[in-house]
Structure 1
Amino acid sequence: MTRPPTAAQRRVIGAAEPVTGRLRGTEFQLAALVARGLAFRHPRPPHDHFLTPTGHRIREEAQPADTPAAPAAPPASGTTGVFAARVGGETETPAAGAARTREVHSAWTGLLELRRMTNTDGAMDRPCGWERTHLVQAAALALEAAGHRPEDGSGGGGGASGGYRVRATPQPEAVAVREPDGDALRACAATLEKAGWQVGEYTEPRTGTRYLLASPRRT
């Protein structure tokens, strides 16, 4: 088993860009992370360094969890310094307005760049490896970036206010998206399909509620 990263290496990992995992550090620090399998050097210019899935896990384990409603997603609090797309139903939500819009746009742009650099053919129209290991967060980012409204759980209304809610499912590589408004649900499906997800609409047998199952497209 490899040794755990040093305190200095953890600081470099913790300072990585939240969505893309792009790293900044000295050549020695970056090379040491690569040697431990926590980072990789991109083969295309400018040859930046990015966290591997193991590096991402170490980064996320160091962040305080504050949203048990979405166990598959990173923390959603605006106070942690970690960007997280809204998955719907958060009891504490980041501030809205122009600042949030800029954050979401920057995160989505960064994710598209991550697709370009990590998909073997440079494709930006289908999900990358990071999205497959962060299904809830990735689907929620695609929805929020397209302007869909997440469910607001801060008032304890149990979803009465409407809006999307993204949750993990027992199925591999699949998330469930719920939205009480039928037209809004179909709009969510269209957004996810455009973002490179395979989407199907289903009905819960007991309640008759319509919902989406979405999986990252591979080809």
Structure 2
Amino acid sequence: MTRPPTAAQRHVIEAADPVTGRLKGTEAQLAALVKRGLAFRHPRPPRDHFLTPAGHRLRETPGASDDAGAPEPSAPAASGVFAARIGGEEGPEAGPARLREVRGAWQGLLELRRMTRPDGATDLPCAWERTHLVQAAALALEAAGHRPAGAEGGGYRVRPTPQPEAVAVHEPDPGALRACAAALEKAGWQAGEHTEPRTGSRYVLASPRRV
């Protein structure tokens, strides 16, 4: 298990820019945060350091247990620190704390997109999203304000499909289903409505755009 950050490293995390996650600290502190998966160094000059989604989550959870460990830096939305809601999970209704978590995770994912694109653009999904399709699509939906399905049944559900690089989004309300498709397209996905042959129900098939 990765050692928790020291008090000095926690101070660096808590002092990060609230929007971009840009960090200031000594080279040793920043390198240690990168090693723990809580920060990354931007590949282009001035090569500043930024919080990963795990770092954002740690900063925005006062009193979070340091011995929980840090996830791998390449897994922003499927780590033990933040979990995208794919629909159907049990849990409390969305509140201010959850909204902060989602916002921090989404901003971290945009930073991952930025640092892996030569032009620094954030309009297309990154490699992590292509290997964690369900979690990435769910994060995009929740970050856009859509509600995951709960015990009562309403809301979206994101599920894997046999097709490569494609997920299915189910939402019982037709208007909400179309809104989910629009949100995914805005987040850099290709999305189109289809009909399930056996049940006649409508769903959205979505995959990350490459260009």
Whether the aligned pair in 2 keeps the contact of 1:179 and 1:185 (CA below 8 Å) is yes
Kindly provide the amino acid, as one letter, of the partner of residue 194 in structure 1: K
Q: 1:12 to 1:173 in 2, by over 3 A?
A: farther
Letter in 2 for 1:43: P
- Within the alignment, does 1:216 sit opposite 2:211 as a pair? no
- What SS is found at the alignment partner of 1:140? helix
Answering whether residue 93 of structure 2 is matched by residue 89 of structure 1, we say no
Identity %: 67
Match of 1:132 among 130, 133, 141: 130
Partner of 1:74: 78
Could you tell me which residue of structure 2 aligns to residue 64 of structure 1? none
Which position in structure 2 is the counterpart of 1:65?
none
Q: CA deviation at 1:50?
A: 8.9
**Contact 2:112–2:126 (8 Å) recurs in 1:** yes
Deviation at 1:168, TM superposition (A): 1.2
Question: Structure 1, residues 48-82: CA drift from partner, whole Å, max 9, x if none?
Answer: 4899xxxxxx946xxxxxxxxxxxx736xxxx5x1
Structure 1 residues 194, 27: closer, same or farther in 2, change over 3 A? Answer: same
Which amino acid in structure 1 is aligned with residue 130 of structure 2? R
The alpha-carbon deviation at position 140 of structure 1 amounts to 0.6
**Partner SS for 2:3:** helix
Structure 2 Cα separation of the partners of residues 29 and 184 of structure 1 = 44
Is the Cα–Cα contact under 8 Å of residues 51 and 108 in structure 2 kept in the other structure?
no
Gap runs ≥5 in structure 1? 1-6, 34-38, 52-57, 61-72
Corresponding residue for residue 47 of structure 2 = 46
Partner of 2:60: none
TM-score (norm 2): 0.68
- What does residue range 19-58 of structure 1 map to in structure 2 within 5 Å? 26=28, 42-44=42-44, 45-48=46-49
1:201 aligns with 2:203: no
Partner Cα separation in structure 1 for residue 132 and residue 142 of structure 2: 15
Taking structure 1 as the reference length, what is the TM-score of the superposition? 0.65
Q: Does 1:183 align with 2:181?
A: no
Tell whether the 8 Å contact from 1:127 to 1:216 is kept in structure 2 after alignment: yes
- CA shift for structure 1 position 113: 1.7
Runs (5+) with no aligned partner, structure 2: 14-21, 53-69
Q: What residue number does 1:100 align with?
A: 98
Any conservation in 2 of the 1:41–1:50 contact (CA below 8 Å)?
A: no
Question: Which whole-Å CA distance do the structure 1 matches of 2:96 and 2:167 have between them?
Answer: 28
**Whole-angstrom CA distance in 2 between matches of 1:111 and 1:49:** 12
Q: Of 89, 95, 119, which residue of structure 2 is paired with 1:121? A: 119
Q: Which residue of 1 aligns with 2:17?
A: none
Deviation string, structure 1 residues 112-162 (Cα, Å, up to 9, x no partner): 122111122211111111111111111111111111111003xxx5xxx31
Superposed CA RMSD in Å reads 3.5
1:27-57 deviation digits (Å, cap 9, x = unpaired): 7976x96xxxxx9854223354899xxxxxx
Mapped contact 1:201–1:212 kept (Cα < 8 A): yes
